[in-house]
Amino acid sequence: MAATPLSPPLAASSSSSCSTSCSAAFTPHLPVISPKKTAFLSSPSSSLSLGGARLTALIFKKRTFSEDVGFGGVKCVTSNAPSALPKALLFDCDGVLVDTEKDGHRISFNETFAEYQLGVTWDVDLYGELLKIGGGKERMTAYFNKVGWPDNAPKVKEERKQFVASLHKRKTELFMALIEKKMLPLRPGVAKLIDQALGNGVKVAICSTSNEKAVFAVVLFLLGPERAKKIQIFAGDVVPRKKPDPAIYLLAAETLGIEPSSCVVVEDSAIGLAAAKAAGMKCIITKSGYTGYEDFLNADAVFDCIGDPPEERFDLAFCGGLLQKQCVN
């Protein structure tokens, strides 16, 4: 499949059902002032193309630590330097490429528990809580440590580790079967943004806490073999510490030969955001089914999805614009 070159900025549109929220990080040392005194700098040279709408300034919603003290004053403008693109786009997999958690991974975990006759079922709400723990093996271990290990589980710690590994292996097989049958679709705009990146010489990688085979299946079967051979995957146990630790993003930047500050990450969760920011990277959040309530105060931008035209939320030009953004107090 041929890569799609980056299209020029689109004309402004007055009919869009998109809702976006772009958040500049609030820091405690900033002066607390009245909302009426908050100033935003704008000029024709600072416009960006964002999902078909031309913005003359980057205006960011802000939150404070107390509802009764007003807003922190932050002025955000883009630099006057020529427009640049990121050196790399780094995507999380679950919740970003595909909204896999509720009807993909959760179902596969439960089918595995049933096969092993563990008497365990993770309902939708419980699984949402467990997602705060990065990694499937880590998730199961934490759950069993809290509620008690099944009667047919090993009693010795090292044997339990192998037991969890066998559960996770079977769960991955069941999940891959769902992906191969294309039971779960790509999220809107994912293929578009990846094609824009590849068509403009921007490196693309997937950085996920999920099993490498599962991530590869998502990339191969849903993005297709032509894209898959151009995308590098960092997943599972490739690093010893999982998100929110930045290790996986730092490994990706090092392997790709790119400075972290030249990378833009697309994530959907608070732990993914923490990992990206700790790595020194810009991070865009595209909320997924389980993460809409999470705190994304430190994200560089927050959207409900990437989006395809005519419902496009952002594009590669917007990602490049984030690298040029300057915020001063």
- Active-site residue list: 92, 94
Q: How many CB atoms within 10 Å of residue 135? A: 19
Sign of CA dihedral 279, 285, 290, 294: positive
Sign of CA dihedral 238, 243, 244, 250: positive
Distance CA 55, CA 317 (A): 12
- CB–CB of 220/229 below 8 Å? no
| Identity at 96, one-letter amino acid code | V
Q: Which string of DSSP letters, residue by residue, matches 148-173?
A: ---TTS-SSHHHHHHHHHHHHHHHHH
| Identity at 59, one-letter amino acid code | I
Distance CA 215, CA 236 (A): 9
In 174-220, beta strands by DSSP E: 203-208
Distance CA 233, CA 213 (A): 10
Dihedral through CA 131, CA 183, CA 267, CA 171, nearest 10? Answer: 40
- Closest alpha carbon to 51 in 321, 266, 325, 324: 321
Distance CA 193, CA 308 (A): 9
- Beta partners for residue 186, in sequence order: 98
Q: If residue 324 lies in a helix (H) or strand (E), which one and from where to where?
A: helix 316-324
- Closest alpha carbon to 56 in 45, 65, 72, 66: 45
Residue listed under structure tokens 């030969």: 257
